[in-house]
Structures are given as structure tokens and as C-alpha cells.
Amino acid sequence: DGGITQSPKYLFRKEGQNVTLSCEQNLNHDAMYWYRQDPGQGLRLIYYSQIVNDFQKGDIAEGYSVSREKKESFPLTVTSAQKNPTAFYLCATDSGQPDIQYFGAGTRLSVL
């Protein structure tokens, strides 16, 4: 199946813990994005990567980190520095500007 796979679907974080959200794609897209969605809010950009081994901060990068070692994968780590991590996280990809971004099914992160 072609598409974008996010895992896990639900994730719980303990105080002081780092957690990693997975995003994998087999669309052969160059660009990948991470968004955060809070209830009643639009999506806000955390990080994005337009090519392997390169990534840029978005609007709310503090408390998050990413890597892009492979074209297919763009994991997001929510660090202990992120004091309010409870949100819905969406990964997206596209093949370059101008293009349509396609989204994964999301990961819902909660704090225990």
C-alpha cells in the first residue's frame, strides 16, 4: 500500500520522559512535515525537511527534535523540555513546491 504511516496511534508520556513518534512514507516524496493540533485550533508547523540530512524549525520547534537520515522516515522526538505535549500530531509529505501535502492518520499524545 502506498501512503504515510504514523505510529503509534496513541502514546502516553510520563513526566520527564522523551518519546518518539514515527512517520514513514513510501510515496518517494522529498519533503516531510510535522504539525501539532490542539483542540479547536488549526495545525501548527513544528519541523520540516525538504531533503535527507536537512531540516528546519517551524513555528513551534521548542521542546521537539527530529532527524532525517532516510528519505522514507522523519521521526519526531518530544523531549522533556516540552511542558505541554498533550496534542494530536500529524505528519505530512509532498514532492516539492508547488505541491499538495498529504497527511498520515496522526498520533495522539497524552501525559500520564
Partner 1 sequence: AQKVTQAQTEISVVEKEDVTLDCVYETRDTTYYLFWYKQPPSGELVFLIRRNSFDEQNEISGRYSWNFQKSTSSFNFTITASQVVDSAVYFCALSEYGNNRLAFGKGNQVVVIP
Is 92 in contact with 27 (CB distance < 8 Å)?
Answer: no
Take residue 31 and report the three cell numbers written for it: 519533503
Three cell numbers written together for 2: 502506498
The residue (of 19 and 33) whose beta carbon lies closer to partner 1 is 33
Among 17, 18, 26, 41, binds partner 1 (CB under 8 A): 41
Which of the stretches 19-27, 44-52, 62-70, 73-81 binds partner 1 when contact is defined by CB under 8 A? 44-52
Collapse the DSSP code of 79 into the 3-class scheme (helix H, G, I; strand E, B; otherwise coil) and give the result: coil
Length of the chain: 112
Considering the complex, state which of residue 17 and residue 56 has its C-beta at the smaller distance from partner 1: 56
Q: Which residues bind partner 1 (CB under 8 A)?
A: 31, 33, 40-45, 48, 50, 58, 88, 90, 92, 94, 96-106, 108
